[in-house]
Amino acid sequence: MPALSSTMKEGKLSEWLTTEGSPITAGDAIATIESDKADMDLEAFNDGTLLKILVEDGETAKVGDPIALVLEEGESEEDVMAMLNGGGGSTSAPAADETAPPSAPPAAVSEPSTPHTKVYMPALSSTMTSGKVVSWEITPGDSISTGEPLLTVESDKADMEVEHLGEEGFLARVVVEEGGSCEVGEVVAVVVEKETDVAAWEDWVPGASGTPSPAPAATSPAPAVKSSSSKAASSPSPSPPSGGRVVASPLAKKIAAEKGIDLSQVTGTGPEGRITVSDVESFTGSSSASTPPKSSPPPVSTWKPASGVIAATPMARVLAKKQKIDLATITGTGQFGRVTELDVKSAMGEKPKKKKTTGATAPIELPSGFVKYTAMQSAVSSNMEATLAIPIFRVSRVIEMTSFNALYAKVKVKGVTLSALISKAVAMAVEKHPIMNSRHDPKGGIYYNEDINIANAVALEGGLITPVMKNANEKTAEELGVEWKELVQKAREGKLKPDEFNTGTFAITNLGMFGVSAFDAILPPGTGTILALGATTPVLAPCDTCIGGISKRMEMTVTVTCDHRPIYGSDAAVFLKTLADVMENPEKWKIA
């Protein structure tokens, strides 16, 4: 049972989409899970055969519990069934631990009884099984409110911010440090209600099993931030926290660092001596002896990260932490102002290596040696390998683009992007040919998708992702233009939600902006069709009404790649004919 959100502790098996004994392919939807947020499809992680269903439709299981057994290639049914029945023959809870005698828990500090909330590693995509903590946005002792960014996780799709979904409180314990990884559903942190309870969790570690234990109910919930009246009654005068630890809000720390103020010299007026922003701003003492951060030059792009978040690559964060360098003092030169590893090295005083050149061209730093895939690149690699088992075919057609380009020039001023306008045209053509919106079902048939969700490939640093415009056929081009801009921005920031990039039913990839005349795309797992768009180029064509008998017009070559199991060549040909009619006669079809 996967963790489909950071607060999910158990899930309900709404419906199995396949049956025992049926073959399954990596990426196929095999079940629908009802979580504490929404109903989501569960995709198969590997190819194999669904051997046995352990949790039936309508039943509930805790996160991490097995819900089915899959027989993979090279495994025998006897071995898998022996593992299942090794715990006394019961199939009601076939946990792997049942085959071994119970072991004593490790010597560790017992779990404090203070009201708290455990934070689990969320499943940021339907194929994610583990995640890596890129960075913690706050440190133990800092306050956290509902909806504020808590940590950044590197999944198999992208680096994504994880927001705190629980009640207001204080980060008491970081279980998985920056750079560390754990399985989906495992505990990564603990948040307590009261700041005074933070110390009780400093040495706590999860149990030896590594599985998250259910969070105890808060028997006496107390608000994380008290009102001014209760504050005055309980704390007549501010006092610094005991133990020599400086307690301050994240924003107060940031402002103090910018002004070069030593927080140990500031008297906090917040709850139990906590230093607030107003305390820092009203501080009149001397600044810290350390050199204040240098003012940052104008950003290299118009995009800026959310307040309090520093955009940096995972390697830059690791190096900065190792060298004890504040990322806030570094100006990023990466895409959208992201701080790169080279930026950190430059801040360390390390000059980039330059290669000798004999000509007048500027020196170029060439990469060399082995570079391990990022989680996103590994996921792309796995998906590409999975496509080798799919029988595909391709069909191409030239589309005359003069009228379409004229329409785009007219609606561009209204905020309609080219991707949105093309997606609208494609959706209208798909609406006429539902087979192009279908996919192969491992149960031995065709699965027709009810909605037309157009996914467009977007290149990111270290990979790509496919933001989805849902129900594109039902929306106007202007609505799609606004939606697409928001999706791209969230993709660049790594803030796309799973259902915003893994719910596409028809995919589009476009290399025309690079001058590519035509290309073939690889079919993504779980879809039936992907459309590849080339560049729009001017060509000379015969013209009976033109002087000289020749005219210039704009043409674009498009190529569809289809799964040949549900879709045939004639289906693709007729679809492209309709798409050409839509794009060559946009006013007749009223696409904008």
Instruction: Assess contact for 467 and 484: CB atoms under 8 A.
Output: yes
Strand-pair category, 39-43 with 29-34: antiparallel
Q: Is the dihedral of CA 304, 308, 310, 311 positive or negative?
A: negative
CB atoms within 10 A of CB 405: 15
Has 564 been annotated as catalytic? Answer: yes
Strands (E), 137-186: 143-144, 149-154, 159-163, 169-174, 181-183
Token pair belonging to 368: 């060399």
Q: Which residues have CB under 8 Å from 68's CB, separation 6+?
A: 30, 31, 50, 51, 52, 53, 54, 55
Nearest C-alpha neighbor of 315 from the set 333, 351, 340: 340
Cα–Cα dist 18/29, whole Å: 9
Three-state DSSP class for residue 438 = strand
Say which of 116, 164, 433, 564 is annotated catalytic. 564
CB neighbour list of residue 178: distance below 8 Å, 6 or more residues apart: 133, 134, 135, 136, 317, 318, 321
Do residues 461 and 334 lie in contact, with contact meaning Cβ atoms separated by under 8 Å? yes
**Secondary structure element (H or E) that encloses residue 342, with its range:** helix 341-347
Task: Match 């693709």 to its residue by tokens.
Answer: 572
Q: What SS3 state is found at 162? A: strand
CA dist 269 and 267 (Å) reads: 7
Question: Element (H or E) spanning 230, and its range?
Answer: helix 228-234
Catalytic residues: 564
